[in-house]
Chain A
Amino acid sequence: MASKPVYRTVFDIPREEYFAPGHGLCAGCAAGVIMKILTKVAGPNTIIVNATGCVEVATTMFPYTSWKVPWLHVAFENAAAAASGVEAAIKVLKRKGVIDPNKRINVVVVAGDGGTYDIGFQALSGMLERGHNVMYVLYDNEAYMNTGIQRSGGTPKYAWTTTTPVGKVWKGEWRPKKPIADIVAAHRIPYVATASPSHVIDMMNKFRKGLDIEGPTFIHVLQPCTTGWRFDPRYGITIARLAVLTGMWILWEMEHGEFRVTVPVPKRKPVREYLKLQGRFRHLSEEQIEEIQRMVDEEVERINKLVGRTVIGPVEE
């Protein structure tokens, strides 16, 4: 049985702030919203282990830091390994009486798509397989945004990036996005979920579960990037919402092997609505848009089959 949600309305959002303003994230960057909400849910007894990436560089420009909780950055590919060490240390120090054994300390990884899909994948798999009590939060902006919009394993098909440019021969990224959450779920960890900053309460409940459930947990959050996706900063959350409403980004969770869609979409919008707001898809032909629509339709069908009924409905213009 899936556990009950803790947060029901915006009034349930904790008032305390553990992620200070004044950081250097781009105007309209959804990562800031995700970190703010994440730390509100996790609270003060939390240690953040941050992979190299936008959030790391933008929130800790010495001598300033946005983090009111202990925060560690080691390198790009090893956030999961470093978090394994933090968790193991807390465990043994509790056993030896150095840390109060009754004090619950959350260990949370924050990493981008490059640090998760690609360079950090081995360390992530190791951490999951060993069963460390760590929540891994992937903020996925679908390319190496920190170094200036290079494609990653998380870049969706046909997206323009600086290493999959649109030219006479190349027409943007030609490979589909790697299904990282499914691959993580294949490790048989107790909790995997997808989330979107447009559905804050849903995202908060997933963070809550990720923290409360013993063992490794993984929350995959879609993070619209104004700079890399090429949209007006005001549309970040709108685009995140359209990703959900078009079925491009399905909000689900898998708790102890039980799969469910947490935000059903009875009437889907066409993917065109999502794509047209973003400069990275500006070059798409009608055929390419239709191909993306077909890919989404197939994924929706797969998800509906998995659930056993239609939770994501057909496209309605």
Chain B
Amino acid sequence: MVKWKRLPLNSNYAVAYAVKDADVDVIAAYPITPQTTIVEKIAEFLANGEFDAEMIHVESEHSALSALVGASAAGARVFTATASQGLELMHEILHIASGSRLPIVMAIATRALSAPISIWCDYSDLMNTRDASWITFINSSAQEVYDTLIMAYKIAEDPRVLLPVMSAHDGYIMSHTVEPVDVAEDPEDIRRFIPKRRDRINILDPDRPVSIGTIVRPEWFYEVKYQQVVAMREARKVIKEAQEEFASRFGRRHDVIETHMMDDAELAILTYGGIYGTAREAVDMMRAKGMKVGSVKLRLWRPFPADELRKALSNVQAVAVVDRAISYGTPIAGPVALEVISLFYDEKDAPKVISFVAGIGQRTVTEYDFVGIAEKSLKYLSSGSIPKETIYWGVRGVEV
């Protein structure tokens, strides 16, 4: 039996505990709000000898991820964390990490992007990484943060996958908010779930020399990149397996999406991250008033859980997708809304998709906002006119 101790942890500390329990070998990180307390906590663990790792105090996020590419290529289990501008500075190496097929794991405490500068939460930073070929989880609770980070190593290091994993949680809303979290009493229980392996080909070993990161001509490049497409496809299966094994070993079940009151719902509210709990609360409030509303949480962003979402949304008349990022200059500006629309494109009797943007730069999103979003969506539905453009919820001076 695995023993747990319940600790009061914010999501940043939940990440740090997971890194310790996963026996990570190399950590390279650069301070940035609201991520910083993750690496501070890890440094504290190392300073007290609570686990053994090399911490590289790099001079930038670009070097943080570059150092991890080197460390992972040398066969180590690695970790970094960042947010916002730091993630942007890493952007070049995001693609190199996935293209080099290195199982790097990174935590993101999501934050808005400059300019103007905002240290507060939204998902502009994470959504900008969409096409970098990283498996991307978005967590909604500190327990999920701890569990996902542990599963991330299982998934990333699977020989069928060998792709890096990003595990995100809301800056401040989660990174600095304390929740009860069950962490392993004995880290060995976690380590038995994610044993380290050295069987991949891309390890810099003098006994078995390989060249990693070579130049590839047009005759081969397409095939190499197609392998990433295949790996992402495989990842969907591997993620399911990891979740199953995690549930049977540890008794906590996670899935790529989560639904609430969806059996007879006419309208679904779909969102992700720390505000999902608020959406759920709003659904309960609306149910009490007899409104047939349910909620769907997106926990896995890449690979996109298309089948699961199609199934979950098959019986609703409409889905209101609440994004916390803006893709500027396109009628539908919500990144997740775009994906949901593409799910049902050209399908008969498909649910109507209504795109909302909210919570930009941590503009507060309450239960009443979700109630308002639901009421507005039902009104659109009954009038038979679904907006073809994103609705910017809560921005002052704009009538919705």
Binds A, one of B72-80, B148-156, B260-268, B381-389: B72-80
| Cross-chain contact A57 with B69 (CB below 8 angstroms) | no
Contact with B along A216-248 (1 / 0, CB 8 A): 000000000000000000000000000000000
CB distance from A118 to the nearest CB of B (A): 15
Number of B residues with CB within 8 Å of any CB on chain A? 45
The answer to whether residues A61 and B63 also contact, given A88-B56, A92-B52 and a CB cut-off of 8 A, is no
| Cross-chain contact B58 with A91 (CB below 8 angstroms) | no
> Which B residues between 45 and 76 are near A, CB-CB below 8 angstroms?
52-54, 56-60, 62-64, 66-76
| Cross-chain contact B206 with A90 (CB below 8 angstroms) | no
Contact with A along B201-220 (1 / 0, CB 8 A): 00011100111111111001
Contacts of A96 in B (CB 8 A): 25, 52
Contacts of A63 in B (CB 8 A): 220
Q: Does A41 contact B (CB under 8 A)?
A: no
CA distance A129 to B56 in the complex (A): 11
| 24 A-B contacts (beta carbon < 8 Å) | A44-B209, A70-B204, A71-B212, A72-B211, A75-B66, A75-B96, A78-B63, A78-B66, A81-B58, A81-B63, A81-B64, A82-B73, A84-B63, A84-B67, A85-B56, A85-B71, A85-B72, A86-B70, A86-B71, A88-B71, A91-B54, A122-B60, A123-B62, A126-B60
| Cross-chain contact A122 with B76 (CB below 8 angstroms) | no
CA distance A27 to B229 in the complex (A): 39
The answer to whether residues A93 and B214 also contact, given A74-B93, A78-B93 and a CB cut-off of 8 A, is no
Q: Does A205 contact B (CB under 8 A)?
A: no
| Cross-chain contact B206 with A73 (CB below 8 angstroms) | no
Q: Does B198 contact A (CB under 8 A)?
A: yes
Besides A62-B220, A86-B70, 19 new A-B residue pairs in contact (Cβ under 8 A), listed by A number: A47-B204, A60-B211, A72-B204, A74-B66, A75-B96, A78-B62, A81-B58, A81-B67, A85-B56, A85-B68, A85-B70, A85-B73, A86-B74, A89-B25, A89-B75, A91-B54, A93-B74, A93-B76, A98-B198
Q: Does A45 contact B (CB under 8 A)?
A: yes
Number of A residues with CB within 8 Å of any CB on chain B? 48
Q: Does B132 contact A (CB under 8 A)?
A: no
> Which A residues between 116 and 159 are near B, CB-CB below 8 angstroms?
122-123, 125-126, 129-130
| Cross-chain contact B214 with A62 (CB below 8 angstroms) | yes
Q: Does A276 contact B (CB under 8 A)?
A: no
| Cross-chain contact B214 with A61 (CB below 8 angstroms) | yes
Contacts of A74 in B (CB 8 A): 66, 69-70, 93, 96, 100, 213
| Cross-chain contact B212 with A84 (CB below 8 angstroms) | no
The chain B residue with its CB closest to the CB of A105 is B206
| Cross-chain contact B70 with A73 (CB below 8 angstroms) | no
| Cross-chain contact A47 with B74 (CB below 8 angstroms) | yes
| Cross-chain contact A45 with B206 (CB below 8 angstroms) | yes
CB distance from A40 to the nearest CB of B (A): 15
CA distance A60 to B217 in the complex (A): 11
Q: Which 9 A-B pairs have the closest CB atoms?
A: A85-B70, A85-B67, A73-B213, A89-B74, A81-B63, A78-B66, A126-B59, A60-B214, A85-B71
| Cross-chain contact B205 with A70 (CB below 8 angstroms) | yes
Q: Does B28 contact A (CB under 8 A)?
A: yes
| Cross-chain contact B217 with A61 (CB below 8 angstroms) | yes
| Cross-chain contact A69 with B69 (CB below 8 angstroms) | no
The chain B residue with its CB closest to the CB of A77 is B62
Contacts of B76 in A (CB 8 A): 88-89, 92-93
The chain A residue with its CB closest to the CB of B196 is A98
Contacts of A81 in B (CB 8 A): 58, 62-64, 66-67, 70
| Cross-chain contact B75 with A49 (CB below 8 angstroms) | no
Contacts of A65 in B (CB 8 A): 211, 214
From B63, B71, B100, A89 is in contact (CB under 8 Å) with B71
From A45, A67, A92, A126, B58 is in contact (CB under 8 Å) with A126
CA distance A61 to B217 in the complex (A): 7
CB distance from B248 to the nearest CB of A (A): 29
CB distance from A87 to the nearest CB of B (A): 8
CA distance A119 to B387 in the complex (A): 47
Q: Does B92 contact A (CB under 8 A)?
A: yes
> Which B residues between 170 and 227 are near A, CB-CB below 8 angstroms?
196, 198, 204-206, 209-217, 220
Q: Does B26 contact A (CB under 8 A)?
A: yes
CA distance A96 to B75 in the complex (A): 12
